[in-house]
């Protein structure tokens, strides 16, 4: 193993991919911060992360933009295992959409689970993509990050950045999981309304 030397001019191994420093080619193991959301085998030291964060921050300020962190389950979609579905939810199987055109569907079934997209998801993501200029914002500074989640307790250190959205619970198993006594939207054969959007109630 080759470690960074403290001598002047030595490589700091700021970016390591597959345990190889991208600057000098040295083998570097077990150092740096893992960034699996970029690549499972990339690591950066704290100075490089700060440098990229500062760079992204300046770019965002010039464009008057924010980084958007999106939670998935219970925020943009709801998923249940098929084994957990009630008998009176079985009708949903016949409404499952094809994976050939995911952009046109909102209910999808895999071998062991079913996922329901929140009604506004397609239009919401189109707006996000339309305004998105780069994916290199994952290292943005905290002050430029906006978080959308259904659970505030997941972000105890970032409450000032958080917008809490109402939890999306379409399936009965989800309501049971959180101890809610009311009927799920799947049992009522209805869904949240969206302008020009379809609902299970209209299609059933």
| DSSP annotation string for 106-175 | SEEE-SSEEEEE-TTHHHHHHHHHHH---STTTT--GGGEEEEES-GGG-TT-GGGEEE------SHHHH
Q: CA-to-CA distance for 41 and 35, rounded, in angstroms?
A: 8
The SS3 assignment for 69 reads strand
> How would residue 10 be classed by pLDDT, with cut points 50, 70 and 90?
confident
Q: Which of 48-52, 74-78, 181-185 has the lowest mean pLDDT?
A: 48-52
Q: Which of 180, 163, 164 is nearest to 172 (CA)?
A: 180
pLDDT in tens, 86-126: 999 999 999 888 777 777 788 999 889 999 999 888 887 77
- For residue 84 the two structure tokens come to 């957990």
- 3-state helix, strand and coil shares in percent for the chain, rounded to the nearest 5: 35, 20, 50
> 7-16, 62-71, 138-147, 180-189: lowest mean pLDDT where?
138-147
What mean pLDDT, rounded, does the chain reach? 76
- Euclidean distance between CA atoms 184 and 178, whole angstroms: 12
CA angle (70, 72, 77) in 5-degree steps: 130
For 120-134, what is the mean pLDDT? 67
Asked which of 10-14, 31-35, 176-180, 187-191 is least confident by mean pLDDT, the reply is 31-35
Half-sphere exposure of 108 (CA within 13 A, CB side): 16
When comparing pLDDT for 52 and 132, which is higher?
Answer: 52
CA angle at residue 106 from 101 to 110, to 5 degrees? 75
Kindly tell me if the per-residue pLDDT of 167 is higher than 80: yes
């Amino acid at each position: 193993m080759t470690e960074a030397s403290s001598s002047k001019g030595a490589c700091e191994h700021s970016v390591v991919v597959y345990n190889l420093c991208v600057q000098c080619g040295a083998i570097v193991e077990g150092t740096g911060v893992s960034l699996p959301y970029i690549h499972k085998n990339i690591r950066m030291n704290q100075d490089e992360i700060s440098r990229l964060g500062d760079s992204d921050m300046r770019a965002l300020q010039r464009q008057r933009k924010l980084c958007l962190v999106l939670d998935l389950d219970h925020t943009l979609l709801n998923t249940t295992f098929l084994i957990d579905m009630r008998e009176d939810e079985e009708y949903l199987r016949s409404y499952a959409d094809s994976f050939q055109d995911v952009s046109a569907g909102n209910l999808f079934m895999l071998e062991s689970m079913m996922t329901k997209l929140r009604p506004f998801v397609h239009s919401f993501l189109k707006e996000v993509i339309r305004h998105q200029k780069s994916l290199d914002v994952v290292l943005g500074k905290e002050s430029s990050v906006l978080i959308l989640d259904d659970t505030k307790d997941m972000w105890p250190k970032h409450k000032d950045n958080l917008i809490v959205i109402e939890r999306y619970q379409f399936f009965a198993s989800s309501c049971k999981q959180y101890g809610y006594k009311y009927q799920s939207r799947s049992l009522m054969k209805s869904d949240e309304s969206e302008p020009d959007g379809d609902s299970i109630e209209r299609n059933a």
